[in-house]
Amino acid sequence: MKGPLSGLLVADFSRILAGPYATMLLADLGADVIKVEAPGGDDTRSWQPPVRDGISTYYLAVNRNKRSIALDLKDPTDLAAARELARRADVLVENFKPGGLARFGLDYETVAEGNPRLVYASISGFGSGPRGAELPGYDLIVQAISGLMSLTGDPGGEPFRAGISVFDVMAGLHATIGVLSALHLRSESGRGQHVEVNLLSSALSGLVNQSSAYVAGGVVPERMGNSHPSLFPYETLPCADGDLIITAGNNGQFRKLVEVLGVPELADDPRFDRNEQRTANREELRPLLVERLRTRTRTEWFRDIIAAGVPCGPINTVAGGIAFAEDIGLDPVVTAGGIPGVRNPITFSDSAASYRLPPPSLDEHGGELRKWLME
């Protein structure tokens, strides 16, 4: 069964995370992705530990289903190969410093002259404008500048970064959406276009209700630990042997929750009968819920609260999260050439993601690709 993007050729001039994540998603769905690396290789090859068989697991996470060619763009022969690849490609993805490929004749305007059907995606930290192009685009910096870190951590405590490079991943997803949208338009117009994504714009979009609180409501959000500014209960609550996440997102779920907890009268208490009231009076409601939750273990409450139709869950390690996905039949782990990775999250009824190639070693396919590009 062919993937939905079979037949597309993607020239991947990106490195680190946002670009490689986007191109791996395209590759999983059938695109032929050629990973162009500098002679020293993608930086994440050396980002270790942890490792598997001496290879960085960071690199392994975002580079399956690709073929690698190492090209020194300062070398005339290698530069000619890079230009030929761009001429043949349907999609080119790059995250050089804005304008950085122009000196090699690999910028969008130059490449599009010989390949007007090309969809050219650029990912940067702060956009290509004169005031943003010079700024370094690392995820941690964007987490700080965007305001995310001001929202992460305990009230009154220090700000914290998210546990992953969340805006690199988000920008990679936005780049993928942009590429697919441009390909759809190309099917009608016959022409490609330049798609630009930057981490800060992805961050501000991804802050959703928190950025809206300021933009639309004039409210500057603050750290609330695991609490939610607009919902209660929607946080960690202590049971007899540890915390459980409980999220009663509407009045019906709250009524079911308090019935399971054995305090059904709380659903009709005027202090708690609507979400607005529960949120405003959370300091009164929380101890009433905790008093009941402390009488039993997390596992016991999880079983009964879920059975009642109220969302809740334990706080797992990553290992526990993978195990839970396995338990409910999501089959989260796949192998590509013997290398395990996490399954592409998209399921299609009439096509499928595939896991054809393991993450390549540096220049693993250089010989065959050079020969092909010279034909």
State the Cα–Cα distance between residues 259 and 236, nearest whole angstrom: 19
Identify which of 80, 165, 185, 85 has the alpha carbon closest to the alpha carbon of residue 123: 165
State the Cα–Cα distance between residues 38 and 73, nearest whole angstrom: 8
DSSP per position, 168-202: HHHHHHHHHHHHHHHHHHHHHHS---EEEEEHHHH
Give catalytic status of residue 139 as yes or no: no
H-run or E-run covering 211: helix 208-215
Cα dihedral 120, 124, 129, 134 sign: negative
HSE toward the beta carbon, residue 18, CA cutoff 13 A: 29
Single out the catalytic residue among 168, 269, 304, 350: 168
Q: Are 124 and 137 within 8 A, CB to CB?
A: yes
State the Cα–Cα distance between residues 143 and 131, nearest whole angstrom: 19
Identify which of 175, 337, 312, 169 has the alpha carbon closest to the alpha carbon of residue 244: 312
Enzyme catalytic residues: 168
